[in-house]
Homo-oligomer: A and B are copies of this chain.
Amino acid sequence: MDFELQATAEGTAARAGLITTGHGTIETPVFMPVGTVGSVKAVHQHELRDQVRAQIILGNTYHLYLRPGTEILHRAGGLHKFIGWERPILTDSGGFQVFSLADRRKLREDGVEFRSHIDGSKHLFTPEKVVDIQRTIGSDIMMALDECPPGTAERAYARKSLDLTHRWLERGWRHYKETEGLYGYSQAFSPMVQGVTYPDLRRESAELVADLGAEGNARGGLAVGESAEVMYEMIEVVNDILPADRPRYLMGVGTPANILEAIDRGVDMMDCVMPTRNGRNGMLFTRHGIMNMRNRKWADDFSPIQEDGPADVDRLYSRAYLRHLFIADELLAMQIASIHNLAFYLWLTAEARRQIQAGTFARWKREMLECVTRRL
């Protein structure tokens, strides 16, 4: 994986760049739709490509390991071929999912033991195994296994957790270096900065991550219960430590406002289930504000969902029709809202990139922040 830093916005840390992978290039900053089990919910692959203009999507190691399983994925020739997606894929390590299993998992020095949420079967994820699984998945960007403490964890726990995550990172990194991709293209391995909300732990973690010299670096353990302000601070405290010539990925973030603030702080890649999950519940994000499509006010609004919207669905269907579909619990409602929201998130990051390149990001961001947080 290569990264070319193409522009930096004056007065902010915002950057425009170009990532090159074995499955093509990615213009940053970029939002990455989440396709947990190999499908971005309610969206066809060609819609992701042509309507949403997704440049890269996510898969989840925990979920894909359980279903369809590594044997099937291996025989399919990797996840790209299995799902019919030719552009880049990033896989989360599954750490976050395993740790949210609560009483179904047990932390050990060598890894984390857990029971499947599907059939209760027992499994062990080690830093090495998680690399092996991602080798089989064939993701272009693989993530290290980490322990994910809650955003409100006490310092003593955070300290202990960070040490374990670092030991796991070194093991994962070593295993990554000793193994190779299975399908003829190279896979990057990304460590992630942890440290809960303790600036000194975050900085310590960033030093260690920077020292590895990985092709990309991530920040994990944010947007898990702490305030947005604290999250932004945690992004900033490691900005001077993480190398500027490698892409920076902020995991699991967030609202359109979060996305803008993260870009402002030099983040290049983001992912979140919010556009699809909230979309399925009737919430539409637009450049003019947030629309709750179940609201009565749309019942007789026969204008297009969004005349100047980023996807064809915005002009194909009216607000009144979309509201009706939500009220009547029709699947098409979820399909339309998912495409719209993802297309909006991709528009937002692409537009941020244009503004960065044009030297107008700071002002645009201020204006856009007011728009995207408004309730329509």
Contact = CB atoms under 8 A, between A and B. Distances in A.
A332 B72 contact: no
A62 to B, nearest CB: 13
Nearest to A323: B68
Interface string A23-60: 00000000000000111011111100000000000000
B328 A331 contact: no
A75 B321 contact: no
B324 A38 contact: yes
Nearest to A76: B302
B84 A318 contact: yes
A320 B37 CA distance: 14
Contacts of A313: 44
User: How many interface residues does chain A have, given as a range?
Assistant: 35 or more
Interface in A73-89: 75-76, 81-84
B332 A334 contact: no
Interface string A313-352: 1001110110011011011101110000000000000000
A331 B42 contact: yes
B68 A299 contact: yes
Given A84-B317, A316-B84, A318-B82, A37 B299 contact: no
Contacts of A72: 299-300, 320, 324
Given A72-B320, A321-B38, A331 B330 contact: no
A366 interface: no
A67 interface: yes
20 contacts: A37-B330, A38-B324, A39-B330, A41-B331, A42-B332, A43-B332, A44-B332, A44-B336, A63-B328, A67-B327, A68-B299, A68-B320, A68-B327, A72-B324, A76-B318, A76-B321, A81-B302, A84-B318, A84-B321, A331-B335
Interface of A: 37-39, 41-46, 63, 67-68, 72, 75-76, 81-84, 299-300, 302, 313, 316-318, 320-321, 324-325, 327-328, 330-332, 334-336
